Chains A and B, each alone.
Chain A
Amino acid sequence: MPWHRKDLITLEELSLDEINQIHATAAAFKKILGRSVKKVPALRGKTIVNLFLEPSTRTRLSFDMAAKRLSADVISFDAAASSTTKGETLRDTAENIRALGADMIVIRHAASGSPLYLSNILDIPVINAGDGAHAHPTQGLLDTFTMREHLGDLRDRKVVILGDILFSRVARSNIHALSKFGAKVTLVGPSTLVPRWFAGPGVEVTHDLRGALAGAEVVMLLRIQHERQATASFPSLGEYTSMFGLNKTRAGWLNPRAIIMHPGPINRGVEIDNDLADGPNSVILGQVTNGIAVRMAVLYLCSGGQPENVIG
C-alpha cells in the first residue's frame, strides 16, 4: 500500500499498517546509519524548517540530524529568536515560512492542537514534534520501534508507563501506538498525575506500583517535571521517589528480560536509580539512536517518498 499522508499530527489517526510502514522504512534507514557514509540523497534540494516554539534540545537535535542524513537543507527557528515573541500570530509565521519557499515544517509548540491548526493552513507537510500534552508522534513511533527490536511482536505484552501521565504527550502517543499493536498498557503513578480518564480498552490505570510492575516486559519512565511542582500534584520529589521511583528492589518485580525506557531528560535519583539507568536492561540510549532513523522515515514518507524505494 503506498504512503499517502503529507502530515504527521498524531498516532491516533494512523492505522497499524501505516505504523508498520514507518517502522519498516526506519529499519532500512537504521542500516544506513550503521555505515561509514551515513548520508543518503533522498531529500536533496528540499528545505525543512524546524519551528520550535517551545524549548527543546534532544528532539530538535534528532530532527536536525535526521534531515541532514537525508541531505535536506535545515533552517531552525526557536521561540526566543522568532517574531512570535513580538506578537506575530502562528498563522502569519506559517505563511511567512511558506512564502520563503520551505518544503516542510517540523513544529514543536506548547499549545495542544497547534500542528493540526498549521496543517489546515499550509499545503506543505507538517510534522508534529510535540504539542502541549496532546501528542508526540515520532516519540511514540521510536519507542514502539525500540520495543519491537527487543521483544518482537507486542501483542499481549505488558507495557508499564510510570510517572507524570497527565501532562505527558509521550504517554499519549505511546498509548495510541501500543493499543494498535495489541499490547496491554498499564499506567501507574500518583493518583493526581494518572487520572481515571485514561482507562479504556487495553489500558489499565493503577496506583499500585508492585502490581503494575509484576511481570511487565517494558517499563517506560516519564520525567517528573519540577516546574509543575507548584500545582501541588504530590508533596515532594523525595516522597515521589520513595513511592514511585524505580530502584533495584522494584525492578526485581519485572520480568527478568524487561527493558527500561525513558524519553529523557532523566532526573537521576528521582524517577530512576543511577544503576538502573546505565544497567543492562536500560535501552535509553538506543531510543535516541532509533529516534533518528524513525524521524528520517517520517520526513522521507511525508515528503512523498515510498517505503519500497528504501526497504529494497
Chain B
Amino acid sequence: MSSLWIQNARIIDPASKRDATGDLCVNDTGKIVPALSPAAKKRARKIDAAGLVACPGLVDIHVHFREPGQTHKETIATGSRAAAAGGFTTVVCMPNTTPPADNAGTIQAIKDAAARDAIVHVYPTGCITAGMKGQNLAPIGSLKRAGVVAITDDGDCVQSSRLMRSAVEYAKMFDLPVMDHCQDHALTQGAVMNEGIMSTRLGLRGWPHAAEDIIVSRNVILSHYTGAHIHLQHISSKYSVELIRRAKSRGTRITAEATPHHIALTDAALATYDTHFKMNPPVRTEEDRQAIIEGLRDGTIDIIATDHAPHTDYEKDREFDFAPNGIIGLETALPVVLDVLMRRSKFRLPKIIDLMTRRPAELLKLNAGTLAEGAPADICLFDPAEKWVYDAKAGQSKSANSPWHNHPLSGRVKYTIVNGVLVYGNGKLDH
C-alpha cells in the first residue's frame, strides 16, 4: 500500500476540533499521520483537494443490506459500494434478514460475507427477540460474543413492555445498546402513511404519531428505571422530540437518530401515491419536520442515520397499500442533509459532519469517526457546492427506490478512502 497525500483540503474533524485548510497525510499502513517524510511524499498517491472538504468517513448506524436471504434487493457487496459512493466508510446492518440475525451462526455468516465482499467497514447487529417475533429473548450474550455492536428488532418494535424491560436489563450486562423502532402496533393496523389531513384526503390508513410517542415514552421510562442505554431509531414526531428532550434533561441514557428523509420531506409529497415516499415511520407534517431539525440543533437528537432500505422496482411498483416500506439513502444522504441543515436551517458544516461521523461512532463505540493522528484513514472528500442530478438507476445500490431519483442535488462526494485505500473516486469505484 502506498501512502496518500491529500492536498489543500478544508479539513474538518469535529473529534479533534479541527477546521482548517491544509494537507492530510496517510502512511503506508493506512493511518492518519501529521506529515510524510520527503521520500514518502515522492512515492505517495496525491489528491488535489482544493475546494473540497476532507472529513472523517461518514458513519451510518442504520442500514439494511438484506444479506442473507433477500439478496435480490441488496447484498453486502452492493450495499457497501453504495456506502462508499455516498462517502460512508462505516455502516451498521440491521438484523431483519432472512433468516433474521438472531444467532451467532448468522452473525458469523454476515461477518464472513463482509470480510469477503465489503469495501467499507460493515458491522452487524443482532435481534432482540428470537426470530424477531417479539416472544422470547434472542441469545443476546452469544450475539455479543459473535460480534454484534447492538441489538434491535428494527421494523418490528417489541410490543411487550415486560420483554423489553428484560432485554434492556440483560443487554446492559454486556454494555450492549438496544435500538428500538418505536411503534405501537395496535394503533397502526394497516397504516401506510402519517395520519392527518393528507391521509384523510388520500383515503389511506393513517399511522398516528401517538403510536411512536407511546413507545418512546415507554422506552424513556424503561431506560430511566433500569439505567440501560436505549437508542431510539428514526424519530418522526414532534411530540417524541419533546419527550426525548425532557428525558435527557433528567440524565436518562436515551439517544436518538433522525433520517435525511424525515428532515427533508413531509406527507404532502404523497399526493400522487408515489410509493417512493412510503416508509415506516412515515414522513409527517412540516411541524414535525421542523421539530426534528431543532432536535438535531440542540442535541436532543444525537445523530443522522439513513435507514437505507433497498427494494426492487417490481416490489415498489404496486398499489400504495401493497408496496413495501423504505427507501435507499446512502448515496443521497450527504447532499440532502447539506441542503436541509446547512443551506436551509443554517447549521455550520462542522456540526453537520459531527452528526454523521464522530457522534454515531461514539454512540456504538465504533473505531471510526475521526481524523486524529493514528486513527484509521477512513476519509470522505466532498465538494459542498457541486450541483448534479441523481440517477438512482445508475447508482451503486442494487435497488433504485429513492424519492430523489432524477432530482437536482447540491454537494457531492468526490473520494472515499477506507484504511488509506481509495475505494471511490470521481464517480467510480476504484477497487
Stretch at the interface among B19-27, B168-176, B200-208, B246-254: B200-208
Q: Is the CB of B314 within 8 A of A89?
A: yes
Task: Report B-chain residues with C-beta under 8 Å of the C-beta of A134.
Answer: 202-204
Query: A77 at the A/B interface (Cβ < 8 Å)?
Result: no
Query: B318 at the A/B interface (Cβ < 8 Å)?
Result: yes
Known: A116-B272, A132-B204, A134-B202. A90 touches B197 (CB 8 A): no
State the Cβ distance, B46 to closest chain A Cβ, in Å.
50
Q: Is the CB of A117 within 8 A of B273?
A: yes
State the Cβ distance, B430 to closest chain A Cβ, in Å.
38
State the Cβ distance, B21 to closest chain A Cβ, in Å.
50
Q: State in angstroms the CA–CA spacing of A70 and B320 once bound together.
A: 34
User: In chain A between 91 and 129, which residues have their CB closer than 8 angstroms to a CB of chain B?
Assistant: 91, 109-114, 116-117
Known: A89-B314, A135-B203. A109 touches B196 (CB 8 A): no
Residue of A nearest to B198 (CB): A197
Known: A112-B273, A113-B273, A117-B273. A198 touches B200 (CB 8 A): yes
Residue of A nearest to B193 (CB): A112
Known: A197-B196, A197-B197. A113 touches B317 (CB 8 A): no
Which of B189, B197, B320 contacts A113, CB < 8 Å? B320
- Count, chain A residues at interface, CB 8 A: 23
Task: Report A-chain residues with C-beta under 8 Å of the C-beta of B201.
Answer: 12, 172
How many A-B Cβ pairs are below 8 Å?
A: 52
Task: Report B-chain residues with C-beta under 8 Å of the C-beta of A198.
Answer: 200
Q: Is the CB of A114 within 8 A of B319?
A: yes
Task: Report A-chain residues with C-beta under 8 Å of the C-beta of B314.
Answer: 89
Q: State in angstroms the CA–CA spacing of A231 and B187 once bound together.
A: 10
Task: Report B-chain residues with C-beta under 8 Å of the C-beta of A112.
Answer: 202-204, 273, 320-321
Q: Is the CB of B200 within 8 A of A109?
A: no
Q: State in angstroms the CA–CA spacing of A8 and B374 once bound together.
A: 66
> Of residues A109, A112, A197, which shows the largest number of chain B Cβ atoms within 10 Å of its Cβ?
A112
Query: B225 at the A/B interface (Cβ < 8 Å)?
Result: no
State the Cβ distance, A131 to closest chain B Cβ, in Å.
7
Residue of A nearest to B273 (CB): A113
Known: A112-B204, A113-B204, A197-B200. A132 touches B321 (CB 8 A): yes
Give a binary string over A128-149; 1 marks a CB under 8 Å from any B CB, 0 the rest: 0001111100000000000000
Q: Is the CB of B204 within 8 A of A90?
A: no
Give a binary string over B198-234; 1 marks a CB under 8 Å from any A CB, 0 the rest: 0111111000000000000000000000000000000
Task: Report B-chain residues with C-beta under 8 Å of the C-beta of A231.
Answer: 189
Task: Report B-chain residues with C-beta under 8 Å of the C-beta of A68.
Answer: none
Q: Is the CB of A113 within 8 A of B318?
A: no
Residue of B nearest to A12 (CB): B201
Q: State in angstroms the CA–CA spacing of A134 and B322 once bound together.
A: 15
Query: A305 at the A/B interface (Cβ < 8 Å)?
Result: no
Q: Is the CB of A111 within 8 A of B320?
A: yes
Residue of B nearest to A231 (CB): B189
Query: A60 at the A/B interface (Cβ < 8 Å)?
Result: no
Q: Is the CB of B203 within 8 A of A133?
A: yes
Which of A89, A116, A195 contacts B200, CB < 8 Å? A195
Q: State in angstroms the CA–CA spacing of A238 and B273 once bound together.
A: 38
State the Cβ distance, B207 to closest chain A Cβ, in Å.
14
Q: Is the CB of B317 within 8 A of A132?
A: no
Task: Report B-chain residues with C-beta under 8 Å of the C-beta of A117.
Answer: 273, 319-320
Give a binary string over B295-338; 1 marks a CB under 8 Å from any A CB, 0 the rest: 00000000000000000001001111110000000000000000
Q: State in angstroms the CA–CA spacing of A246 and B189 once bound together.
A: 31
State the Cβ distance, B13 to closest chain A Cβ, in Å.
47
Q: State in angstroms the CA–CA spacing of A135 and B318 once bound together.
A: 18
Known: A116-B273, A195-B200. A89 touches B320 (CB 8 A): no
Q: State in angstroms the CA–CA spacing of A198 and B204 once bound together.
A: 14
Q: Is the CB of B203 within 8 A of A132?
A: yes
Residue of A nearest to B321 (CB): A111
Q: State in angstroms the CA–CA spacing of A3 and B104 once bound together.
A: 66
Query: A169 at the A/B interface (Cβ < 8 Å)?
Result: yes
Residue of A nearest to B318 (CB): A89
State the Cβ distance, B210 to closest chain A Cβ, in Å.
13
Q: Is the CB of B203 within 8 A of A90?
A: no
Task: Report A-chain residues with C-beta under 8 Å of the C-beta of B321.
Answer: 110-113, 132
Q: State in angstroms the CA–CA spacing of A110 and B192 once bound together.
A: 14
Which of A89, A131, A195 contacts B203, CB < 8 Å? A131
Task: Report B-chain residues with C-beta under 8 Å of the C-beta of A90.
Answer: 318-319
Which of B197, B203, B273, B320 contacts A169, CB < 8 Å? B203
Which of A91, A109, A135, A169 contacts B317, CB < 8 Å? A91
Q: Is the CB of B200 within 8 A of A111?
A: no
Residue of A nearest to B200 (CB): A197
Give a binary string over A220-234; 1 marks a CB under 8 Å from any B CB, 0 the rest: 000000000001000
Q: State in angstroms the CA–CA spacing of A22 and B66 once bound together.
A: 51
Residue of B nearest to A113 (CB): B273
Residue of B nearest to A112 (CB): B203
Residue of A nearest to B189 (CB): A231
Q: State in angstroms the CA–CA spacing of A112 and B272 once bound together.
A: 11
Q: State in angstroms the CA–CA spacing of A172 and B273 once bound together.
A: 17
Q: State in angstroms the CA–CA spacing of A133 and B320 once bound together.
A: 13
State the Cβ distance, A174 to closest chain B Cβ, in Å.
13
Q: State in angstroms the CA–CA spacing of A276 and B60 once bound together.
A: 64
Task: Report B-chain residues with C-beta under 8 Å of the C-beta of A109.
Answer: 319
Q: State in angstroms the CA–CA spacing of A134 and B204 once bound together.
A: 7
Between-chain CB contacts (< 8 Å), 9 pairs: A89-B317, A90-B318, A91-B317, A111-B320, A113-B202, A113-B204, A113-B321, A117-B273, A197-B200
Top 10 closest A-B pairs, CB basis? A134-B203, A113-B273, A133-B203, A111-B319, A111-B321, A112-B203, A197-B200, A197-B197, A113-B320, A114-B319
Give me the interface of B with A, judged by CB distance under 8 Å.
189, 196-197, 199-204, 272-273, 314, 317-322
Give me the interface of A with B, judged by CB distance under 8 Å.
12, 89-91, 109-114, 116-117, 131-135, 169, 172, 195, 197-198, 231
Other than the given A113-B320, A132-B204, A172-B203, 9 more pairs (CB < 8 A) read A109-B319, A112-B320, A113-B202, A113-B273, A113-B319, A117-B273, A131-B203, A133-B203, A197-B196
